[in-house]
Amino acid sequence: MKGRPEVVAVLVEVMRAELTASNQYLLGGAHARNAGFIKLATKLEAESKGEFEHARQCADRLLYLGAAPDGRLLADPVQKDSPIAQLEADLVLELAHASRLNGGIETARKAGDHASATLLESILVATEGHVDWLETQLDLAKKIGEGLYLAQQL
Ligand SMILES: [Fe+2]
3 state SS of 17 = helix
Q: CA angle 26-128-13, nearest 5°?
A: 65
What is the pLDDT at residue 88? Answer: 98
Q: 18 CA to middle of ligand 1, Å? A: 5
Q: What whole-number percentage of the chain has pLDDT above 90?
A: 99
Q: What whole-number percentage of the chain has pLDDT above 70?
A: 100
Predicted TM-score (pTM) of the model is 0.97
Residue ranges of the domains in the chain?
5-151
Q: 97 CA to middle of ligand 1, Å? A: 8
The CATH code of domain 5-151 reads 1.20.1260.10
Tell me the per-residue pLDDT of 58-103, one tens digit each, with 9 for 90 and over. 999 999 999 999 999 999 999 999 999 999 999 999 999 999 999 9
Instruction: Dihedral sign for Cα 148, 149, 152, 154, please.
Output: negative
Q: How far apart are CA 56 and CA 62, in angstroms?
A: 10
Interhelix angle 114-144/83-110, rounded to 10 degrees, is 160
Residue 105 — pLDDT band, cuts 50, 70, 90? very high
Q: 98 CA to middle of ligand 1, Å? A: 9
